[in-house]
Chain A
Amino acid sequence: MSILVLAIFIPFLAAAIIPFLYKYLKNIHVGWFAILVPTGLFIYLASLIPAISNGEVIVQTMNWIPSYGINITAYLDGLSLTLALLISGVGALVILYSIYYLSSKEPIGTFYTYLMLFMGAMLGVVMSDNMLVLYVFWELTSISSFLLIAFWYQRKRSREGAKKSLIITVSGGISMLVGFIMVGSMSNTWSIREVIANVATISDHALYTPAMLLVLLGAFTKSAQFPFHIWLPDAMEAPTPVSAYLHSATMVKAGIYLVARFTPVFGGEAVWFWAVTGVGIFTLFWGSFNAVRQTDLKALLAYSTISQLGMIMSMFGMGSAALYLGYSTESVVYTGATFAALFHLVNHSTFKGALFMVVGVVDHSVGTRDIRRLGGLITLMPVTFTIATIGSMSMAGLPPFNGFLSKEMFFVSTLEITEAGFFGLGAWGIAIPVIAWAASVFTFVYATVFVVKTFLGPYKEEKLEHPAHEPNPGMLISPIILGMLVIAFFFIPNVVGENLIAPAMNGIFPTFAAEGAELGMHIHAWHGFKPELFMTIGVVLFGVLLFVTKKYWSGLYNLFPEKWSINTFYGFVLDQMEDKSTVITNKYMTRYLRDYMVYIFAFFILAIGGIFIFTEAYYFTLPENAPVSNFEWLVILSMMIAGITILFAKSRLTAIVLNSILGFGISILFVLFRAPDLALTQTIIEAVTTVLFLVAYYFLPELDKEDTTKKTKSVNLFISIGVGVVFTVVALGVQGNKAFGTISTFFENSYELAGGKNMVNAILGDFRAFDTMMEVVVLLIAGIGVYTMIRVKTKKESDQIEDK
């Protein structure tokens, strides 16, 4: 197994070990063990930077299902490495933070298990080359996110938020899977690299656009793009370290990663351009517009994340325009948007991670996140205030912070794209910079709200749960590190740009890189007196104006009443689905076992009998079959008599005994047909089931005379005769038809192949061991099912534990 593949699985391994560490090492906070994993991974990945920045690509494969071309291929290029470094780096900081955030009284063992599960899944997403493997990891991130949002599952809102995020992201994931399957069937490979290499052969295919839209649906749901953004604010019920990690720095970037990864496949198409840019730019506006009205700090940051994700998304859309033109000196200009997108992706993780941690610190310290109750914390929490200011200024796009650089580059890209004459940009292109600018004004407003309402103004201790104080210094380490990175990236942006983003660009524009294009950019803080600088100055001026006059225009939000919101629509659809399906289900689920038997047997008769009639497979010739000997007749006759007598049995005991005659009769037939294994198993099973029947019937009332209508009786008669006929026809038809050649000669070599002379057991334990293994597991599940149904009864108090 190669190291890179191992790196994906180390977090999963840690997830398996952590519960035991938590159980047996009570004295040490289990987070100290968990933090070793991301730290180690970060160091390992960082050691690969020189190789990657030289343009190398690391590919390592471990076979999983080679017969279907599904292998775990770890593929590391600049794009994957950037994301992987974010996952492990932010992961380490978040775990460090959570050690001080979560008290040991909480079930932290499960917390770190889920977190490790997520980390492994996320690494799998960004490093998988195989689309189906990517999908598996993708859904795993949704599931671990679900578990983490519902970490405080006693709260109703946590459970609902978790459910909402799961429903939305998994539906998107499934549509993405369909898209992947379409891409796979068009290009005959599951490998993304091979798809990209042969992209010319699939772009005219009829499934090309549907596949593109389905993949985009997966990306949009995951990255909380409008109108699927509604799950992200509700996901804020998770513990703050989780929000900082999953719902701002990493998981929500998975959709953006997907868009970046598939840009060489779908980019250059008008549909792709408008879908990605349009949805992104609208999300940017909608998120920032709604962030201003929030009163909960975490909700404000959630909408801010939605908005920033939209901004990154739109930049990837604009960058894809370069692929439409093909490689030329003019077209390279548009790749600047993609470069800016990648740079902002990194920047956003640093400042938003810091801001989330600040909110956690405030919440932890004073017990509330409501800006109507907060204020004046600047003197009491000066360090926290400093980090919050750094993060907010960066978010608002002001110097000297990294957000300024990427925001300027974003403005440059929006202006450049208006000059492109294709995709109908001549008419509509001007809307892009206008919306982007308006959204940036709102971004400035909510960033100001974040700092001013929390830290400035009067201090209202009577409204707080606890008096304000700086937290444990350990809780401040991670936000301080992130805050310093925010400043560091402003002064040395090209370290990131040259080592990580430039190689990532080569992966997104492979055709350009092959032509020798210089895709890396030199990032400048000072562009000169260009439009983008005036745009930033305008943002600040209008932002301050809007902030000051906020109470005059906030009536604007009432134009969108609650009952017209997407959230209401989501709730309505969900309720309707539940109601309607309950009505339909109650129609046929009558709670009578008898009715269910009727469904099963009726289906059997229709499906199997129907197939036999449809395919005319009921051909059989009796004379060709072996003659029935007298002894066999004897056994069959006694079984027939026993079977008919059951109907007239007066007590359950008689019925059971008669029923077991049928079973033992079959085992005698097995002996006669020289199948000792079957006979042996059948005999023992019959003995054990008879005992089980006896035990179960002990709890049933005495057998009464049947009191059913004539109609029910005739239905029963029809079904029993039907099942008997179908079974007989199947048995005879199997003998009469030889559709395929026999494979029994293969099994005859069981001694050479499996070392056993008993062919039956060689098949069970070796040739078809997979079936046996699954049967064993099914048996176990059935056993646990019986046990839980009978023994584990819901206690009355359980209702009160939930719904707190």
Chain B
Amino acid sequence: MKINNVILRTVAKLVFFIILTLAVYLFFAGHNSPGGGFSGGLVLASALVLLFIVFDIETIQKGLPIDFKLVAAFGAFLSVGTGFGALVFGENFLTQAFDYFNIPFFGEIELTTVTIFEGGVALVVVGVVVTILLSISEDE
């Protein structure tokens, strides 16, 4: 059955980038306002899910040849790795560090290792959600 869904496809192309922006915003906003790695990752995953629903899976995988299992594994590696990173500096496991830096053009911003940790969380969420979705939908 072929459904003519031109409107959906056109809107989805546009909305995808809006959702993507929201995901990135949520990810970085999480430090001081609602958001964070988990919700940012989930929004990113839902953007991808939207693409998979509107277009078919083969098309998306051709345009976006990413193995999401690896994404998830890399995310977990990053999160656990930041924990061990603290050990290198003689701190306890998973101790997070933060400081404020004056960077020209941006002014004072805060850099923190939590961002890396949360980045790992986000990648795991994206990877796992897409992996589960793809493996269920492709089952014969």
Contacts and interface: CB of A to CB of B under 8 A. Distances in A.
Given A766-B96, A776-B79, 19 more contacts: A676-B34, A677-B39, A680-B34, A680-B35, A681-B38, A684-B39, A688-B49, A691-B53, A754-B96, A758-B31, A765-B36, A765-B118, A776-B124, A777-B80, A780-B128, A786-B131, A787-B131, A787-B132, A790-B139
Interface string A682-708: 001101100110011011000000000
Nearest to A757: B32
A694 to B, nearest CB: 9
Contacts of B112: 755-756
A761 B36 contact: yes
A783 B130 CA distance: 9
A783 B42 contact: no
Interface in A749-778: 754-758, 760-761, 764-766, 769-770, 772-773, 776-777
B32 A756 contact: yes
A734 interface: no
Contacts of B10: none
A36 interface: no
A89 B30 CA distance: 55
A28 interface: no
Contacts of B120: 776
Contacts of A677: 34-36, 39
A776 B83 CA distance: 13
A761 B69 CA distance: 26
B27 to A, nearest CB: 11
B69 A758 contact: no
A682 to B, nearest CB: 10
Main secondary structure of the interface of A (DSSP, over half): helix
The listed residue with most A CB atoms (<10 A of its CB), out of B83, B133, B135, is: B135
Interface stretch (B1-9, B58-66, B70-78): B70-78
Contact of B124 (A695, A758, A770, A779): A779
Interface of A: 676-677, 680-681, 684-685, 687-688, 691-692, 695-696, 698-699, 754-758, 760-761, 764-766, 769-770, 772-773, 776-777, 779-780, 782-784, 786-787, 790-791
A698 B34 CA distance: 35
25 contacts: A677-B39, A680-B35, A688-B129, A691-B46, A691-B49, A691-B53, A692-B132, A692-B136, A699-B136, A754-B98, A755-B110, A758-B31, A761-B114, A764-B36, A765-B118, A769-B117, A773-B83, A776-B120, A780-B124, A783-B69, A784-B131, A787-B135, A790-B135, A790-B136, A791-B138
A596 to B, nearest CB: 20
B33 interface: yes
Given A677-B36, A754-B98, A780-B73, A765 B117 contact: yes
A9 to B, nearest CB: 12
A765 B96 contact: yes
A756 B45 CA distance: 25
A757 B33 CA distance: 7
Main secondary structure of the interface of B (DSSP, over half): helix
Contacts of A755: 31, 98-99, 110, 112, 114
B128 A769 contact: no
Contacts of A758: 30-36
A696 B110 CA distance: 43
Interface string B100-140: 00000000001010100110110011011101110111110
A680 B135 CA distance: 27
B20 interface: no
B41 to A, nearest CB: 9
B135 A786 contact: yes
Nearest to B117: A765
A756 B115 CA distance: 11
A681 B79 contact: no
The listed residue with most B CB atoms (<10 A of its CB), out of A677, A685, A783, A790, is: A783
Contact of A766 (B26, B42, B114, B139): B114
Nearest to B88: A1
B96 A695 contact: no
Contact of A783 (B83, B128, B138): B128
Given A757-B32, A772-B121, A779-B125, A688 B42 contact: yes
B94 interface: yes
B114 A754 contact: yes
A351 B137 CA distance: 62
Contact of A757 (B31, B118, B125): B31
Contacts of B39: 677, 680-681, 684
A6 to B, nearest CB: 14
Contacts of A787: 69, 131-132, 135
Contact of A684 (B46, B69, B93): B46
A166 to B, nearest CB: 27
A762 to B, nearest CB: 8
A765 B96 CA distance: 8
A675 to B, nearest CB: 9
A776 B34 contact: no
A228 to B, nearest CB: 38
B42 A685 contact: yes
A712 B110 CA distance: 60
A769 B31 contact: no
Contacts of A769: 83, 94, 96, 114, 117
A74 B120 CA distance: 34
Given A692-B132, A756-B31, A783-B132, A777 B38 contact: no
A5 to B, nearest CB: 13
What 10 A-B pairs have minimum CB-CB distances, sorted nearest first? Answer: A783-B128, A755-B98, A757-B32, A676-B34, A684-B42, A765-B114, A761-B36, A756-B31, A790-B135, A780-B76
Contact of A695 (B26, B42, B118, B133): B133
Contacts of A772: 79, 117, 121
B63 to A, nearest CB: 20
Contacts of A764: 36, 38
A699 B137 CA distance: 9
A417 B98 CA distance: 68
Nearest to B34: A676
Nearest to A698: B137
The listed residue with most B CB atoms (<10 A of its CB), out of A677, A687, A769, A770, is: A769
B53 A776 contact: no
A756 B83 CA distance: 19
B133 to A, nearest CB: 6
B72 A780 contact: yes
Contacts of A688: 42, 45-46, 49, 129
